[in-house]
Amino acid sequence: MSAIFPAWEARSGAPGAASAAVCFSTFMTDDAKTLVRDLKRRDPELLDRLIVQYQFRLFRYLLHLTANRERAEDFFQETWLRVLERGHQYDGKWKFEAWLFAIARNLVLDWHRRKKPQSIDSIAGSEERDEFDVKDERAESPLEYVLQTEQRSGIQQSLERVPAVYREVLVLRFQEEMQLDEISRVTGAPISTVKSRLYRGLDALKTAMQGGGA
């Protein structure tokens, strides 16, 4: 894999993974026009920088979607190939990570549709038509409160018991710190559906942490 993407180091114990974990999207906000231009030019140096910057977050997201390290690595590589092939489609109107994660998610969904009759979206069922109101996003969330009072390892174990369709939204909102409109962009779901999944996911996480079924 490294022969294709030399910057890829997001493996267990890889030296670049920890630094990438705290590297957020300053590049996008500081120089969006340059990013759009260089993606259209297929600048290889730009691709290397983007891989280093987003490798940890993208791989973590893919692990949550697939629950399989080897499969996540395959999707990781394929996602960056798509970025290289379709960089000209990025217009800078959304944060780069939202566009990147949407590419990765679509690849996983395509795989699910080929392998299984249900996609990630269809697992949740029809009750997602319910609408929810979200309070001030700057206020402390239930999940943030839990994160402050529980061990991180316990949170991770409980999160793995949450249905994938809800877990994805929790990961995007609280680990990737995306806003609701960005999550909507990644998942292709209306904001009302994103809100529904967020609240149902928080309920499922609470139940899992209390020792019940997700």
Q: pLDDT for 8-39, tens place per residue?
A: 544 444 434 444 433 434 444 556 788 888 88
For 64-87, write each residue's pLDDT tens digit: 888 889 999 999 999 999 998 898
Distance CA 135, CA 154 (A): 27
For residue 191, the model assigns a pLDDT of: 93
pLDDT bin (cut points 50, 70, 90) of residue 93 is confident
Residues 6 or more apart whose CB falls under 8 angstroms from that of 189 comprise: 121, 183, 197
Q: Is 9 helix (H, G, I), strand (E, B) or coil?
A: coil
For residue 138, the model assigns a pLDDT of: 47
Rounded to a whole number of angstroms, the CA Rg of the chain reads 17
Which one-letter amino acid corresponds to residue 176?
E
Distance CA 146, CA 183 (A): 22
For residue 13, the model assigns a pLDDT of: 42
For residue 196, how many other CB atoms are within 10 A of its CB? 21
pLDDT at 62 over 80: yes
Percentage with pLDDT > 90 across the chain: 34
pLDDT at 190 over 50: yes
Provide mean pLDDT across the span 108-131.
Answer: 62
Specify the pTM. 0.66
Q: Is 48 helix (H, G, I), strand (E, B) or coil?
A: helix
More confident residue, 129 or 76: 76
For residue 126, the model assigns a pLDDT of: 47
More confident residue, 31 or 88: 88
For 148-167, write each residue's pLDDT tens digit: 554 555 677 788 888 888 99
Structural domains for the chain: 15-115 (1.10.1740.10), 122-209 (1.10.10.10)
